[in-house]
Amino acid sequence: MHVLYVGHYREASGWGQVTRDQILALDTAGVNVVPRSIDLGLAHAEVPERILQLEQGNTKNCDIIIQHVLPHHMKYDSHFNKNIGMFEFESFNIKHTSWVDHLNIMDEIWVPCSHMLDMPGIRKPCYLMPHACNVEEYNQEYVPLEIPSLKNKFVFYFIGTYNRRKHISALLRAFHTEFDPCEPVELVLKMNHPSMNSDDLAKEVYQLTQKIKEHLKLYDDLNRYKNEIIITVNVSREELLRLHATCHSFVCPSFGEAWCAPAFDAMGMGKYVIASKVGGPNDYIDNGVNGALVNGKLEPIFGENESFPEFGTARELEFDISISDLQYKMRHAYNNRGNFSALQQNARNTAKKYSYINVGSFMKERLNA
């Protein structure tokens, strides 16, 4: 068996990291994989030496193709015995979009979370294929970042792209409503955006924080609120893991997540993860055992103007998190900050289940089916 894996593994993005991990997982499991990169013009990441070696493989020997790209980039090729589309999406209904037609030309579809298994309009078989992780990264010791304002504080944090779907406003509302400025807690926001420079992004995130505080109306003077630590500079993978080591509780309040690599990284680092009860986190977090899931409800999408025109319409559903339940879960994490060593170990143990060899073997079994 020789597998051609087409994806965006040279991208400096969460998607790029996931693609690199999936390729290495297949390789670890003994699959002859030949990767080929699709470049969408975004910033490039450092590619592992092993993937560079695998690129030297001959595609003429490949009898299976995995296309880990957006569905409108997927193409059926009869030269392969099996065409697999690896698909990730965050809302609950794509039957009114053109992506359904593109997905239905594949022989089968791999999805990372359970809620994507029964998508309306998809006629081809769908199989659950979770993301792999480099467990060895989590086993290393990382020196915490030197941020003076975080010393002797309990630190909530978020890492991700600055967009509507991440629902940062919910995190800001919950944090500032729940915690008094005199309490020893802090909030770190590590944000990125593919089309904004660091300075402009920092200004926009800051403006959002101020707007939220104005609308909360808790204090007449905005200076009475805690100041968030906003980080928008590009950092290396090691520095990102150092940030995880610096903080205590990762919060993911998204409208939807197919997986959420930063939340999973946090679990691998033994952090207390609080996430919306949807998508990937709903699969790998056992509420109260290795993290916390926040309740909410499915609602028609409203105000999504950052996606392709046919997406983010009110025909799709998204998960609207409960702010009050998010407050409760954050307060619980803070109040029990000295008593969740068992939860932290459970989180680490969960991450180990998604190692290269485990997920790679799972993919290999499916390829042989």
CB neighbour burial string for 218-244, b if at least 16 within 10 angstroms, e if fewer: eeeeeeebbebbbbbeebeeeebbbbb
Q: Looking at residue 114, what is its pLDDT?
A: 95
Per-residue model confidence (pLDDT) at position 355: 98
CA-nearest of 102, 55, 10, 26 to 357 is 26
pLDDT of residue 178: 98
pLDDT in the model for residue 171: 98
How confident is the model at residue 44, as a pLDDT? 85
* pLDDT confidence of residue 187: 98
The CATH number corresponding to 2-132+355-367 among 1.10.540.10, 3.40.50.1700, 2.102.10.10, 3.40.50.11930 equals 3.40.50.11930
Domain boundaries, the chain: 2-132+355-367, 137-352
What does the pLDDT read at residue 271? 97
The pLDDT of residue 113: 95
Triad 291, 292, 295: Cα angle to 5°: 155
> In sequence order, what DSSP letters do the residues of 283-321 get, joined into one string?
HH--BTTTBEEE-EEEEE--S--SS-TTSS-TTSEEEEE
CA atoms within 13 A on the CB side of 169: 15
A 10 A CB-CB count for 307 gives 16
Tell me, what's the pLDDT at 312? 82
Q: Are strands 108-111 and 126-128 parallel, antiparallel or unpaired?
A: parallel
297: tokens are 């409800």
Q: With contact defined as beta carbons under 8 Å apart, do 181 and 224 qualify?
A: yes
Q: Is the pTM of this model over 0.75?
A: yes
Q: What is the pLDDT along the chain (369 residues), one digit of tens a residue?
A: 899 999 999 998 888 999 999 999 999 999 999 999 998 877 788 899 999 999 999 999 999 999 999 999 999 999 999 999 999 988 888 888 899 999 999 999 999 999 999 888 999 999 999 999 999 999 999 999 999 999 999 999 999 999 999 999 999 999 999 999 999 999 999 999 988 999 999 999 999 999 999 999 999 999 999 999 999 999 999 999 999 999 999 999 999 999 999 999 999 999 999 999 999 999 999 999 999 999 999 999 888 877 778 888 888 889 999 999 999 999 999 999 989 999 999 999 999 999 999 999 999 999 998
Q: Do the domains 2-132+355-367 and 137-352 sit in the same CATH topology, yes or no?
A: yes
pLDDT of residue 41: 78
- Domain spanning 137-352 has what CATH number? 3.40.50.2000
Residue 101: per-residue pLDDT: 94
